[in-house]
Structure 1
């Protein structure tokens, strides 16, 4: 039987929606849209129709596009005393993280407009057919899996922050949030999806939903107006493209920062001859940690400077002078939840789709009678490095979301991406190194343990040899050892088309409930 494609994503039903579309004759872009609509139903903490994201597309005619439908700052700004904006702590068990929610945490959403633009330009099947699997999941319900139940616990304060949110996510027979094995039904969301299929994205940006959003924002403390929704535009950008050890890598360009930081770190590691080291050794982990440290300094000094234009910014960051300076600094060292999801699809014709989306953690606000929670992107410290509500009006927020395509030196093609907030760039970096430098099979590349360096803390995932960690932890006294794999370290979902026989392989990251499926 001819293989029709490969899918990797964060939930069996997300993958199942894409499979249905590929089996029906759709292409990779039909499939990734079906998967994304489904993810908004079955992965509600990680993505939503009230958020934003990116699609990196490679077509069978050899064209590459980056669709930017991320959130942006409102055109107007309220006085601070009128804002509905407050902190909550998300409890990850071993650590907590502060987020801000409320109406004033909502940025202008872009995902609905983005999905419909992609449909008009790249898809082959009717939008109603693409949305239908998501409608069925919402109307008939899906069983909560372990990861979804855990995410409900982590973000319980958000899911309980408004009566409308609690009504969706609680057990109908009690006041407790749904737990593993219980059924999440969302009839209002099913109806909203049906309406979108019939009326298109104008429903969200000019129609009844737009009017409801604007009314509630005006009355309850947010800045979003009719102009924000009417004037929102999806951007089609040129991907950031660079070479690394004879592989060609495409990723998210500025104004998003994640792709640029991945490119910077890879080019720095290339100069430092990382390919001569062995995975998991002290020397490799030390070098990796130091380059992550450099990338964080670069982000603060260059990438988050929104006065720098897009491609000049990238050229400056990847220029030989800056790379040499950071290479020298590293060599001078002596030895001694955001909620995010990703979908990767490749079809038999060679179309490649890498889509990463996010709702932040969610603001708590549900558009009445729709089941759609809007984002809290204005309340995320990660993407507001200069402080909350200080960005220029009507501007895209910078993002770590980094959908990526890789064309290997051996002729293999890879679509990949990750969730995980600030850990996205380091998770993606390590999987790329595993594939390109260490020649690992896809599943091994995804499953291998990771590290993450941020704000002076080195986090080390379980799975490394303890003997290799002794010197490393002495050099980085501010460190945290994790016993097992954890969703903290991202969730990289990879789809690959092999060069020799055009067969497909894939891997969903088990850290975030990921699975892969070969169709055909």
Structure 2
């Protein structure tokens, strides 16, 4: 009989597996510019090599300040704000609005997210501007007559929660901003009015089957981003006059330029026409939440991340606690012991994430103190053996695609990480007519039916059920690391659904445990486990064939992926001897720019 790990509730096992093609000859340590291709199998895993081109715009260094985002134009906007006397909050706000124009895959006005800010040594803030369920939302709204989930939570007007992005940027400026608000929005206005050229990343994203299907259902989306049903070609100049007009109202009136007046009326009209739920009243009543940051230690470093309704900080803290007595840096990087340890701690962390975490306003029994307790982490660590623990035997404790990330650090040491999302790429696919911006499909992040997987394969519990006014559970994990002296060591965040958490952890560990710089910490191959489905996901070139076989012998099921974005798209800023090193993830796009 299997030994049962008592950490609380029984969960069903789901598993699948496929094998990679034969590998090419092993790479040698020091190889640096290997392009990931589908035909590439696993090769020699070495922490000093990278999986893609990390030169040029992806990586940057500077003496005093640094901006990293998923689009070079947005990063440049942030740099110019800093160069003209703005602080990190100013730059982050400007980058966010620029991304809403040039990175419609995830940059947004119609979504939401989280921000973690380090204002001084040991002093941090956490801002929750997550979307909320509209007032008309109900627990069973995405179930058919037989009680099975429909795809209404992903596509079309009924998929959207009330957006929080604009309110989040406004709240950040009210508390920390230095430059005039309008000055931070104007660069985005210019990009929307004057246009930008579609790059290969955006062209490819528009052409992906799921995104294209959702987008073409919206006349405004089809008109803006497609020609005769085909994505606009790379190099096409795109102008967005309706979006420019909305941004001008936001520049002039702050958050009221979005949540009240003309823009709110346009949004409500769009949702009424499409059978959605969002009303002008929903928009007018939206509020951000300033929360107590979630803080924990790892290897003598102080880490700050988001508390619930983000689950990322808790899973990261649990991983840090469970691995506290394991000297990862002395293990062969991505050897079977290393990957096994990661899979086992993530398996346990995600079991908790999927069952007991939710919006703290609605879920009163989140055992936060226990989940962050070193004693509990030691208890969990003792359940990790040399063999894989089946996910069905992991019981969480009870008491009683697509996202984008940006990092900014300024000359005075203020540091900010913002992760924001539409959920899947291009969200619900609905572009607001007369508004020119896409809306989220964040309602899919709720539990439509307990035990049923969402679009990311997450099987979640009743703590995350739909309630009007509630924020859905999230994996977003904006995180800041300080060294033992209170100096900023690292800023990191990622896109990628549940893979955000494991991408952020691996970047952190690559820096702290394996002493890598930003470029290799971000670009190196990754692995992933999220409790269910019960499998270790392996990125191309992440492990050798021998390591995979050793994992199988330990009881793990493995599954290979050759899609670069399947393992998240992270970016980071890391302290360097001469200043800062920034890295945008070559799995996506973007740029790191500094002084």
Residue deviations 1:407-439 (CA, integer Å, cap 9, x gap): 124745211110000100000111111111111
Q: Given the alignment, which residue of 458, 474, 477 partners 1:402?
A: 477
Aligned residue in 2 for 1:317: 371
Report the counterpart of residue 584 of structure 2 in structure 1.
508
Structure 1 position 149, deviation (Å): 1.6
Deviations 1:274-313 (CA, angstroms, capped at 9, x unpaired): 3442312111111111212122222234325966548x63
Which residue matches 1:379?
Answer: 444
Query: What SS is found at the alignment partner of 1:405?
Result: strand
Any idea what SS the aligned residue of 1:59 has?
A: strand
Tell me by how many angstroms 1:444 deviates.
1.3
Counterpart for residue 214 of structure 2: 158
Q: Secondary structure at the match of 1:270?
A: coil
Tell me how far apart the structure 1 counterparts of residues 359 and 463 of structure 2 sit (CA, whole Å).
Answer: 15
- C-alpha contact (below 8 Å) 2:359/2:464 kept by paired residues: no
Mapped to 2, the partners of 1:489 and 1:109 lie a distance apart of: 26
Against the structure 1 CA distance between its residues 305 and 389, is the aligned structure 2 distance closer, same or farther, given a 3 Å change threshold?
Answer: closer
1:134 aligned residue: 188
Distance 2:359 2:492 in 1: 27
151, 154, 157: which one pairs with 1:87?
151
Whole-angstrom distance in 1 between the partners of 2:437 and 2:509 = 38
Cα deviations by residue, 1:446-489 (Å, 9 ceiling, x for unpaired): 11111011311221112233333321244456322235x71111
> Equivalent residue for 1:486?
564
CA offsets, 1:317-351, max 9 Å, x none?
A: 1224432332122126279xx21000000011101
Greater relative contact order (CA < 8 Å, ≥ 6 in sequence): 2
Selected match of 1:497 from 575, 580, 587: 575
2:139 pairs with 1:73: no
Other-structure match for 1:5: 65
- What is aligned with 2:323? 269
Query: Is the contact made by 1:342 and 1:417 (CA closer than 8 Å) also made in structure 2?
Result: yes
**Structure 2 SS opposite 1:354:** strand
Cα displacement (A) at 1:314: 2.3
Q: Deviations over 1:216-268 (max 9, x none)?
A: 43453222233322221111111100111100000001222111111111211
Report the 3-state secondary structure (helix = DSSP H, G, I; strand = E; otherwise coil) of the residue aligned with 1:101: coil
CA distance in structure 1 between the partners assigned to 2:237 and 2:463 by the alignment: 37
In structure 2, C-alpha distance between the alignment counterparts of 1:125 and 1:342, rounded to whole Å? 22
The alpha-carbon distance between structure 1 residues 82 and 497, as it changes in their structure 2 partners (threshold 3 A), is: closer
Q: How many residues get paired?
A: 500
Structure 2 unaligned runs (5+)? 1-61, 390-400, 446-453
- The answer for the alignment partner of 2:467 in structure 1 is 392
Aligned to 2:17: none
**Conserved in 1, the CA contact under 8 Å of 2:135 and 2:282?**
yes
Query: Displacement of 1:386 after TM fit?
Result: 4.3
- Match 2:279 to one of 225, 236, 239: 225
What is the CA deviation profile of residues 384-404 of structure 1, one whole-angstrom value per residue up to 9, with x for unaligned ones? 934899422211221111110
Mapped contact 2:215–2:430 kept (Cα < 8 A) = no
- Which of 234, 237, 241 is equivalent to 1:187? 241
Report the counterpart of residue 546 of structure 2 in structure 1.
Answer: 467
Separation in structure 1 between the aligned mates of residue 359 and residue 70 of structure 2, nearest angstrom? 33
Q: Which moved more, 1:242-251 or 1:370-379?
A: 370-379
For the 8 Å contact 1:6–1:496, the answer to whether it is kept is no
- 8 Å contact from structure 1 (residues 258, 425) kept in 2: yes
Are 2:348 and 1:290 equivalent residues in the alignment?
no
Structure richer in helix, relative to its length = 1
Aligned partners of 1:373, 1:339: CA distance in 2, in Å?
Answer: 13
Alpha-carbon contact 1:378-1:384 (below 8 Å) kept: no
Structure 1 unpaired stretches of 5+ = 89-98
1:59 to 107, 114, 119: 119
Deviations 1:11-36 (A, max 9, x none): 11111111111121111111111111
SS in 2 for 1:20: helix
Q: CA deviation at 1:82?
A: 12
Q: Distance in 1 between matches of 2:231 and 2:513?
A: 44
Distance in 2 between residues matched to 1:388 and 1:364, nearest whole Å: 28
Please list, as runs of the form range in 1=range in 2, the aligned pairs for 1:243-392 lying within 5 A after superposition. 243-304=297-358, 308-309=363-364, 313-331=367-385, 333=387, 338-361=401-424, 362-380=427-445, 381=454, 385-386=460-461, 390-392=465-467
Alignment match, 2:23: none
Change (3 A) 1:384 1:188: farther
Q: Which residue of 2 aligns with 1:440?
A: 516
CA offset at residue 74 of structure 1?
A: 1.6
Q: For residues 509 and 133 of structure 2, what CA distance do their matches in structure 1 show? A: 35
Is the CA contact 1:86–1:102 (under 8 Å) kept in the aligned structure 2? no
**Per the alignment, in what secondary structure is the counterpart of residue 56 of structure 1?**
strand
- Cα-to-partner distance string for 1:98-150 (whole Å, 9 max, x where unaligned): x7212111101101111111112211112222112212221222222222122
CA contact (8 A) 2:306 2:313 kept: yes
Q: CA deviation at 1:197?
A: 0.6
